[in-house]
Structure 1
């Protein structure tokens, strides 16, 4: 079949890899400018040189045997490395978290900057509006549940209902860099005051450059302050980080805020969704568990289901 995958995150690309191996013709579309999604890495030019921040997922684990084998392959390709500070089973992409998604995306000619607004029936196939006149035999939706619900409403209202039932907690994130080391002994701060997670990003494997911190607000605090001005949010998160330090924070040389409206999902247990009669499917961590590994497994589960139905 000719299959469109909407979303070039780890779930969509995992699904696309297996579908392509099965012999299907796969095209991948993503609204972003490049690989990353919630495994994003922000690189910013500064007077101190380029500074990188993993401002989405901070690390991932590999507990499923199939995913562990995949991670071992990435390790051999220098795409990932252990990060002991986050745990014995913690991995990060190198030189940034988005390295994993970038490596997966290289196997496809991904259509970046391609926002799909409607999935429309055309004869026995599907069109992705407003992108092109091309039609597809099947479509896989691989985006956050709240966004998937909108796209799935016309082709499969039942799937759309399932997507709407999976809500995600927001997360405000501050990215801050300094000329000097911050006076916090550990590289990680967890669940302290309004901080859900903070990490010395520059201490992760394969990183360099100036002292760089990513500070993520707790889910409830982020929800309470979702519409606050970015500068006010960064001020609050910096103050919370300062409370963890034994000396005053150095003057920041760079400070940026980012609001994730859909961060940590309250996931279901379906694994993946597939309507074989309509040839519409959905994948993502919202169908399994709020982990990078779960997103990868969800994509693989759907591809295997499609392969069994269309061998």
Structure 2
């Protein structure tokens, strides 16, 4: 490389109206990989900290207890060799650990567990330690990565003929010029941005016509319910299980059973079915849900959990959260693993490119970093 500093911007969500704040693990992996290869990275995000669906929620109960919940992705599995190598390094640094407890499946029609993982060798389930966002937090503070949280990007401009990107904040502030840009959140260029905010998306895809297929990425919503109990749920034989034949719940996880978590109370996270979440949104709209809506959703999800016949007591804390567009319903770049405009030096990465999970997000972030690194090494 030349002596001039090569600079890349990694951009997460540009507006606080969205519930799935970024940068996701995809953007964080991309930023850290670029920085390790000598490229100066500035990471912008309107949220207070990193995580996306791997973020942690801190709540205070009525009696003053601190309650921590991983209310998005409860864990992740890995099969790809490249991702296995990355996760092994995280494990050596103490950023992740294996969650070794048994999982199962519960049939709400018969009110019985229909299988557990005792008989089989299940895939290893990894969690961040001491919280899911520990991974993103560490990556966002790698040497060479400057993270700017509480800073939303309002507009991307491509400067010709220098082939540089100029970024402006939501308040019109000049955020700097960059040799390349990575967008790690689909809301930056999605029509949904306009539906919710009434403003144009920060990234105008007409600047990169090859990426026009991004305009409409289908997404699935989900509600999460965080609940805390004074005593362990001793009659529930699995600390994580899917639910079948339920119109309301799809998964239940015991948050406090994860490695490195506090056990002062038993905390569970329940996820709704996609159909249930879609029905609620059809009635209430895409705007941020009201407290009345969240309270109603929380009550319905809790009643479904209590109705399993597992002698579950009333919790001393409950709170619902909506993930409005966090789960992509399609993978738009399975082979390439990211979207890339070489002329503009623009990469777009995320789980919506490869597969709707943490492993897909990591693969996409690695691919975006590889594209930019190869291109920028010739500058």
TM-score, normalised relative to structure 1: 0.92
Q: Alignment partner for residue 305 of structure 2, among 241, 245, 261?
A: 241
Q: What is the distance in 1 between the residues matched to 2:151 and 2:218?
A: 25
Does 2:241 correspond to 1:171?
no
Query: Given the superposition, is the C-alpha separation of residues 248 and 64 from structure 1 closer, same or farther in structure 2, using an over 3 Å criterion?
Result: closer
Q: What is the distance in 2 between the residues matched to 1:310 and 1:272?
A: 17
Give structure 1 stretches of 5+ with no counterpart.
none
Does structure 2 conserve the Cα–Cα contact (< 8 Å) formed by 1:32 and 1:113?
yes
Q: What is the distance in 2 between the residues matched to 1:180 and 1:257?
A: 21
Give SS of 1:225's match.
helix
Q: How does 1:220-239 map to 2 (within 5 A)?
A: 220-226=275-281, 227=284, 229-239=293-303
Q: What is the distance in 1 between the residues matched to 2:259 and 2:35?
A: 32
TM-score, normalised relative to structure 2: 0.77
Does 2:171 correspond to 1:120?
no
Residue 133 of structure 1 and its aligned partner are, at CA, apart by: 4.6
Does 2:345 correspond to 1:296?
no
C-alpha distance after superposition, 1:61-88 (max 9, x if no partner): 1211121122112112221111123543
| Aligned Cα root-mean-square deviation (Å) | 1.8
Q: What is the distance in 1 between the residues matched to 2:237 and 2:307?
A: 13
Does 2:177 correspond to 1:135?
yes
Query: Given the superposition, is the C-alpha separation of residues 213 and 48 from structure 1 closer, same or farther in structure 2, using an over 3 Å criterion?
Result: farther
Give SS of 2:316's match.
strand
Give structure 2 stretches of 5+ with no counterpart.
1-5, 13-22, 104-121, 191-200
C-alpha distance after superposition, 1:196-229 (max 9, x if no partner): 1111111112112311110110111111112370
Does 2:77 correspond to 1:61?
yes
C-alpha distance after superposition, 1:61-118 (max 9, x if no partner): 1211121122112112221111123543111111111111111112132100111121
Q: What is the distance in 2 between the residues matched to 1:132 and 1:141?
A: 18
C-alpha distance after superposition, 1:228-275 (max 9, x if no partner): 70000000110111122422523x222111100122212222411111
The residue aligned with 1:39 is 54
Query: Given the superposition, is the C-alpha separation of residues 74 and 184 from structure 1 closer, same or farther in structure 2, using an over 3 Å criterion?
Result: same
Q: Alignment partner for residue 19 of structure 1, among 11, 34, 52?
A: 34
